[in-house]
Every structure is written in C-alpha cells, then in structure tokens.
Homo-oligomer: A and B are copies of this chain.
Amino acid sequence: MVNPVTELTNAELTALKVELEAEYSEYASRNLALNMARGKPAGKLLDHNTDVLKTLDNPFAEDGTDARNYGILEGLPEMRRFFGEVLNLDPERIIVGGNSSLTLMYDSIARLMMFGTCGNPAWRTLPKLKFLCPSPGYDRHFAITQEFGIEMIAVPMTENGPDMDVVEELAANDEAVKGIWCVPLYSNPQGVCYSDETVARLGKMKTAAKDFKIFWDNAYGVHHIYEEVKLADIFAACEAGGNPDRAYYFFSTSKITFPGAGVAMMAASFAERKEILKRMGIQTIGSDKLNQLRTLRTLKDAPTLKKHMAELADILRPKFDIVLNTLESELSEGKYASWITPRGGYFVSLDTLDGCAKKTLELAKNAGVTMTGAGATFPYKNDPRDRNIRIAPTYPTDEELQTAMKLFCVCVKLAAVKKLCGEF
C-alpha cells in the first residue's frame, strides 16, 4: 500500500523526486516526438473507410437530382433521412452542411450576432452578451464565443452534465446570458453523458433571454467504446418545456468517415430552420452533394453505421485501455490525479493536483510528447485550479501511446512532487 503523495514526509518526497527525475531523464534521452494535442483519428481508423474513396458510379440522387450540379440547399433527402434515422430526428429539422460542423456552429453564432432570429434583435445590437461554458469543455467552442466578444462564464461539470443548479440560476436572472455550449454525449474532454434529468431541465428552464440557445454539439453521438449510452431527445425536452426554438443540434461524420471530408449537419425547430435556410441561401447555393452520396453509399443506414462504429470502437478500445490502465497503475495509489472513465468519445480528462497541469505538460513537452495545452479546456484558456489535462489517445499507434502514457505519468508524478517540495 502506497501513501497518497500529499501525505509523504519531506524526506520521502525528496527521495521520490530523485527517483522520478532519473526515470524522466531516461525518457527524455529517447528523443521522442509524439503529438497527442488534438482529437485526430489514427490512420488505422481512416483506413476503415476506403469505400468513401471509391468511384461514384452514379452521381444522381434517388429522386433523379444530378448531384454534380447546383442546388438542394438543405441537402439531399436521403442524406437527411439517414441522419434522422441515426439520431432519431425528424429529417424536416435537418440541414446538411459541408465538411465541418464547427463551421455550422460558427455560422449560427454569426447569424445570431448579425441578424438575430424569430423576431428577436440581432445580438450585436445588445449591450452585453454572455454564454454558459460547461468546463472543462471544448476549446474550439470557446474560441468561437471569444471571437465574437461574447463573455464566457465557466459552469462546473458533474457526472450528469453541467451543474444545472448553476445553469438555471445564471440563465434565469441575466438576460445577457444568451446560450450554452453542450457536448451531451461523451463530452469533450471528460466523457460525461448528460442524464435525462439534465436534458429535461435544459429544455424547460426559465431563461431571462427570450432567444436563449442551446448549442447541442453531439459530436460523439455514435462513438460508443465501452458501452452505448442513450441520450434524451433535446427537441422533445425543449418542446415539453414550451421552448420549441431553443436548441440547435450539430453532428457530423468527421470521426465516422474522414475528419477532413465528412458531412456535417445541423437541426433546429421548424421555424428556426426556415429562417436559417433563408439566410443560408444568401451564403451558398448548396453543400457538396457528391460527398453526401459518397458518404451515404458507404454508411448506408443506421444498422450499417452501427456495425461500422463497432469496428472503429474495436480499434479505439485498446487505446483507451492503455490510457486508463496506465493511469490506474501509475497514479491511483499515490493519488496523484483523478479522472473519469469515459464510456465513449475521443478523450480522457485528468485532473492533477492543484497547480500542476502546466508543469506536467511542460515536462512532457520537453521530453518529446506534446499534449493539448494546459487551460485549453477552460474559457480564456484559464483553468482556475491549473489541474485539467485532456488526453487524446486516438492518433498515436498503440506502441507510441504506451510509451507516451508512461512518460506522461512520470511527468504527473514529478510535477506533483516538485510542487509539494515547493519548487514552483
């Protein structure tokens, strides 16, 4: 039985530091060059999608539309039907986009800023704008909010999603609070799945702003790894709460087929969708329908997609096992860090001792392993306790990951010991 590191004597800490520094030096001498900064799929995952690359023999949609030509702003009917089937959404809520759901989110914020929706004033005309940012969260969401000058309010996460008491309090009492970012299934980075109660409360809560928007980024909606968690229907929750226009739903095949060439979509209430399409029709004549056909003819239908995702999970699971087993064996007994075991998604999120995240990542980087920057998972890159680290295990090979995780754990421990020794 090892004592928690925080309970060690000074002499024990000093001895441990010498030991860890030796271990660290050994890794540093190997000239590693591993990048785990982003949630990029490994080549092995991409190789599972060769059909998307094959000849598109028939460039016509099922209703005879020539997918090579202009038109069909909302996306091909069969593509919308596919997304509807997979996500249990009415296809009439869906708009198919280009290769990036991030763009659909950015453009949605941009439209709200410039024009507003449903008769409400354009956000740019209001004196102050705020957004609720469950944290740790996704850095690219925060970057969009910051870009548009919207103040970000960090909201703590619980194992059931954002702390709804905090969310309700902030939304109800401040009309400057205009929305919330949500990754409701296998959240980035913690892998938290929103409970049915959380979804219901988001749909029905009182908001001071009449045009409060839930940005529902279901990026990992079919990315089950250990277990398939069911997500409650956000549109049903909003309707039940008397707020039918509250949610914008986003999804893409970026991590199903290809990150650079997937098909993105958004869904909204019928009233919102009508307004969005009208504005979107000024911005584009339509997204790439050939890629819709390519993607659809590979993924086919919900059962085929399910099988495909199970195959991808078989490649991802060993990577997550490496991460979780290494964390457990290296950091658990000494209580160097805490983490949640995700059931799916793309990340593992770890909390070091307070004040140790930056140092840990600096040590890792100096030994050749680049990870997501410290603070990235918080608004303004400001992790108030400097402890959260996002581990992105999907890109390296299993062998690289094994090495990187061992080194990483040495860094977590060494940073903790240095901190406790008062070195920084």
Contact = CB atoms under 8 A, between A and B. Distances in A.
Interface of A: 38, 40-41, 43, 46, 49, 53-57, 59, 66-72, 98-100, 102-103, 106-107, 110, 113-114, 124, 140, 143-144, 147-148, 254, 258-261, 279, 282-291
B259 A68 contact: yes
Nearest to A148: B114
Given A98-B99, A106-B283, A260-B285, 19 more contacts: A46-B69, A53-B55, A53-B56, A53-B57, A53-B290, A55-B55, A67-B260, A67-B261, A69-B258, A70-B254, A72-B260, A98-B98, A98-B288, A99-B288, A100-B285, A103-B283, A114-B124, A114-B148, A261-B291
| Residue of A41, A98, A261 most packed against chain B (CB within 10 A) | A261
Contacts of A143: 282
A56 B260 CA distance: 14
| Pairs A-B, 3 closest by C-beta atoms | A68-B258, A261-B290, A106-B283
A40 B69 CA distance: 7
A100 B284 contact: yes
Q: Is the interface of A mostly helix, strand, loop or mixed?
A: loop
A61 B102 CA distance: 24
B290 A288 contact: no
Given A69-B41, A282-B106, A290 B260 contact: yes
Nearest to A255: B70
A147 B70 contact: no
A368 B120 CA distance: 41
Contacts of A286: 260
A288 B288 contact: yes
A38 B70 CA distance: 10
A114 B146 CA distance: 13
Contacts of A140: 282, 285
A70 B40 contact: yes
Contacts of A71: 260
Nearest to A146: B282
Contacts of A43: 66
A265 to B, nearest CB: 15
A63 to B, nearest CB: 15
A134 to B, nearest CB: 20
B259 A70 contact: yes
14 contacts: A38-B70, A41-B69, A49-B68, A53-B55, A53-B56, A69-B260, A70-B259, A99-B287, A106-B282, A106-B284, A113-B114, A147-B282, A260-B288, A288-B291
Contacts of A106: 282-284
Contacts of A147: 279, 282
A393 to B, nearest CB: 16
Given A143-B282, A282-B143, A68 B261 contact: yes
A282 B110 contact: no
Contacts of A38: 70
Given A99-B288, A260-B288, A261-B288, A66 B54 contact: no
Contacts of A260: 67-72, 285-286, 288-290
A102 B38 CA distance: 31
Contacts of A283: 102-103, 106-107, 144
A46 B43 CA distance: 33
A46 B290 CA distance: 13
Nearest to A97: B98
A43 B65 CA distance: 11
